[in-house]
Structure formats: structure tokens, C-alpha cells
Amino acid sequence: MARGGDARTAGARTVRAARAARAARTVPALLTAAALLATAACSGSGGKDGEGRESGDGGGKGVGTERMTVAMVTHAGEGDTFWDIVKSGAEQAAAKDNVEFLYSADKEGDEQAQLVQTAVDREVDGLIVTLAKPKALESVVKKAVRAGIPVVTINSGARHSEPLGALSHIGQDESVAGEAVGEELNREGREKALCVIHEQGNVSLEERCAGAAKTFDGSMDLLNVDGTNMPSTQSSVEAKLQADQDIDAVVALGAPFAAAAVKAKENAGSRAQIATFDLNASVVKALRAGDVRFAVDQQPYLQGYLAVDELWLHRTNANVLGGGEPVLTGPAVVTEKDVPRLEKYIERGTR
């Protein structure tokens, strides 16, 4: 490499220079072409230009109370629509209540605990945490309570909230939500249902399925799929529906997976009805088209909004929400006939 390489390196340099010059000419040309295409080839339908102008802001000037800081630490994974809605609810309440709102999340229990510790160290005026991994968070939440920081727990972990000294718990009991699905399936006259778990080993997903199986009069099968791989999720559901023709209902446990279940059902030529947990724009479309029969909404916006509001009320008026019992934000069963009312809220990401 060392000696005889010199001549070649020099040669290579000229070649490289020529190539760079060529690239310098092609890259802007390509960009211009893309820009031209973009302006020339406009879509007459949909897209950003088709968006409504309606804003989601509740408006109002906010209260005159003293500025306070509230931290929310959740177990949200990256890119989960659900937590986005929780967060926007909290932000809306924070804007209204003159609250500085800090948000952080980590799906690993001990990482989440460290984030809570950071909030305690910052001496925030209120703390909102999720207790998906109660053991990991136990000591740090107790520490916050001892430090005199009011704590509100949201989402999962209702059972663990009070023993840790939290003011209130605001969330949906996953088992209760599951039970609502089972009852709804009975009403639809279903006989064999499939519960699609998109994250193996997630306790709240298992609880939803278990709850549904408890109230459902028919039989219920479970299917574990790889939630970060949509084509695989779809083909697994498809395979299951082909393997067992008796399945007449599929329960998806998250909004994005409902679309995959609908596709799978079409491809498998199955007569199954699709039901899902949580809402998003495409679930609403599917509800309207009749592809999805019903959706169970746990109103995540309320979880964020009420938690911040509760901390503010506690500080300014010493209120406590729920009277020692968890405040349930769900389940609310959404069907085709609710669609017209909810559509615009879902579009702006608050339902």
C-alpha cells in the first residue's frame, strides 16, 4: 500500500476530482428537477391544501394564579400516538392553568425512575407518573411524596397508586375496558374471537385480552404479533384467520393494528368483525366504512388534562379528585354513529 501507491493515489485524486465536479453538476440538477416536479405535479385532492383551518386551541387567556412547574414522566415508547394525545391534553391544561409543563418518557422501568428522580431534584411543584412498572418506580415515587411533591398517577397501575401516597389516579382500568369489549362482542352475537397482542409480555395488553375473555360468552384465542413490523402483523393475522375459519371477531389492541386487521380479514376472505382499542384518523374512517365495528376509547386526552388540572386545583384550592378511588377515563365504546361528532377532534389529535 505504502510505496507504489503514490502514483495511483494521484491518479485517483484526479478521477475523484472529476467525479466530484460531475456530482456538483448533477446534484443541483436533480434538486431543480424535483422542485419543478413538485410544483408541476400538484395533487388536486387531499394533502395539506385540503386541510381544514379549524384550530384545536381551547383559547382563553389562562388564570391569574402563580406560575407552577409540573413534570410528567411516562413509560411511553417512541412514536406512540396514544401518548401524544395524553401529552397534548396536559399541555392544553398547562397553558390554561399557567403551568410550566415538563415531559419525559422511557419505556424501561429503571430509566423512567431516573427521570422521576430528575424531576424530584428539580423540586417541581407537581409530578405526574405512570405506574406500568410499579416495582421499579416504588421507591422514587415515595421519595417524591416524602419531599412534599404532590403526585398524580395516570394510565395504568391504579392498584399501586394509593399505597405509594399519590393524590389520585386517573386512567382506565385495562381489565374493565377488556370486559366492555367482551360484552360488546356478546351483543354483536360473536362466537369466537381473536385477541391480537402487538407487544409480547406487555401487562396491560394481556389484561385487556383477559378482561375481554372474562365477559365474552364465546371462546377467545390470543395471537402474538410483531408490532413494529406491519406486513408481518398483517400476514400473521391473515394466517390465523385462514387456519381457523370459525373466528368471527378480531380484537386489535391499538389503533394502527386495526388497519392491519382489516386488510388481513379481506385477504383471508374471512367474515370476522374487527374491533379495536383506541382511536386514530384511520380507525374513524374504517368505522364509517363499516370495516371496524367498534372502538374502545380510553380518552387519553382526559388523562393528561385532568392530571395537570388536579395538581393545579390541589395547589390553589386543596382539592382531591376521586375520593381515594381511581378516576376512570374509559372505556367509552365508539361506533359508527359517534363518528360525525368525533371526527374533527380526532383529526386534530385530541381524541
For residue 85, the number of C-alpha atoms closer than 13 Å in the C-beta half-sphere is 23
Give yes or no for residue 2 binding another protein (CB under 8 A): no
- Angle at CA of residue 311, ends 169 and 134, nearest 5°: 35
Q: What's the full length of the chain, in residues? A: 351
Q: Smallest gap, in angstroms, from Cβ of residue 223 to another protein?
A: 6
How many angstroms separate the Cα of 263 from the Cα of each of 2, 115, 329?
60, 39, 30
Nearer to another protein, 167 or 264 (CB): 264
Q: Smallest gap, in angstroms, from Cβ of residue 143 to another protein?
A: 31
Distance CA 316, CA 199 (A): 41
- Please select the residue that binds another protein; options are 127, 220, 268, 287, rule is CB under 8 A: 268
* Count of residues that bind another protein according to CB under 8 A: 52
Q: Smallest gap, in angstroms, from Cβ of residue 80 to another protein?
A: 6
Q: Smallest gap, in angstroms, from Cβ of residue 199 to another protein?
A: 11
Bridge partners (DSSP) listed for residue 130: 154
- Please select the residue that binds another protein; options are 123, 244, 246, 325, rule is CB under 8 A: 244
Is 104 exposed, middle or buried (CB count within 10 Å of its CB: 0-12, 13-18, 19+)? middle
Distance CA 243, CA 167 (A): 49
Q: Torsions phi, psi of 71, nearest 5?
A: -110, 135
How many angstroms separate the Cα of 231 from the Cα of each of 78, 235, 264?
20, 6, 10
Give yes or no for residue 7 binding another protein (CB under 8 A): no
User: Of the ranges 124-132, 142-150, 166-174, 275-283, which one interacts with another protein (CB under 8 A)?
Assistant: 275-283
Give yes or no for residue 37 binding another protein (CB under 8 A): yes
- Please select the residue that binds another protein; options are 145, 281, 313, 333, rule is CB under 8 A: 281
Q: What residues have CB less than 8 Å from 31, skipping those under 6 apart?
A: none
Give yes or no for residue 234 binding another protein (CB under 8 A): yes
- Please select the residue that binds another protein; options are 81, 104, 202, 319, rule is CB under 8 A: 81
Q: Smallest gap, in angstroms, from Cβ of residue 66 to another protein?
A: 31
Q: Smallest gap, in angstroms, from Cβ of residue 330 to another protein?
A: 20
Closest among 152, 161, 149 to 90, alpha carbons compared:
152
Binding site for another protein (CB under 8 A): 1, 30, 34, 37-38, 41-50, 77-81, 84, 200, 222-224, 226, 228-232, 234-236, 238-240, 242-244, 256, 259-260, 263, 267-269, 280-282, 285, 349
